[in-house]
Amino acid sequence: DAKTTQPPSMDCAEGRAANLPCNHSTISGNEYVYWYRQIHSQGPQYIIHGLKNNETNEMASLIITEDRKSSTLILPHATLRDTAVYYCIVRATDSWGKFQFGAGTQVVVTP
Amino acid sequence: DAGVIQSPRHEVTEMGQEVTLRCKPISGHNSLFWYRQTMMRGLELLIYFNNNVPIDDSGMPEDRFSAKMPNASFSTLKIQPSEPRDSAVYFCASSLNRGNYGYTFGSGTRLTVV
């Protein structure tokens, strides 16, 4: 599976949109982009995933560039409870379900 | 659904003792994964099962670690003998292996070996 690069940390003001970037320049055609987050002392939580189209659910939106070499996770109205480590993972459809987690981005939402 | 259930939540044991961690996956999920998380190494995949069969155990650190899945609703991760460097949070996760579903993780077991 392709590697991903994320900034180690970022801050966001409560109520504002949080835009989390992820670079995956070596992504292959059969690889999806997944996002998870891990709130302190909890297990990771699935957020969203996509192949090439933009996706939206009740938690977030995922914007994937046309060349698929990068993506952005958008939390539209960040709350203090969104403070967490966010992981961007690229996984092929035939990878038997394995997710390899990197270091992620520590997001701190401030009042 | 109660989600993925792990027990115990916390375990403190002495070096050399056997430790058994338990996991009940979500009903209907046919893939199960064991991860370990430390500050130094982050989240590491130890082993995963598909339809109760171990598929890849290349992440298991050494022979002291073993995992079983006797049926679709139960899995164990055993460490024998335990060592202080095994101290970590151990997570279990489950998913459907068809399609591109994400995992559902349990709350983890915090293991401290003294």
How far is the alpha carbon of B26 from chain A, nearest alpha carbon, in Å? 14
Average pLDDT, chain A: 92
The tens digit of pLDDT for each residue in A70-84 reads 999 999 999 999 999
Cβ separation A96–B93 shorter than 8 A: no
The tens digit of pLDDT for each residue in B7-45 reads 999 999 999 999 999 999 999 999 999 999 999 999 999
Q: Which among B104, B93, B112, B114 has a CA at the least distance from the CA of B9?
A: B112
Report residue A1's pLDDT band, with 50, 70 and 90 as the boundaries: low
H and E: helices and strands count for chain A: 0, 9
Token pair recorded at residue B39 = 């500050």
Facing A96 at nearest CB: one of B42, B50, B91: B50
Q: Is the pLDDT of residue A60 over 70?
A: yes
pLDDT at residue number A104: 95
Report residue A95's pLDDT band, with 50, 70 and 90 as the boundaries: low
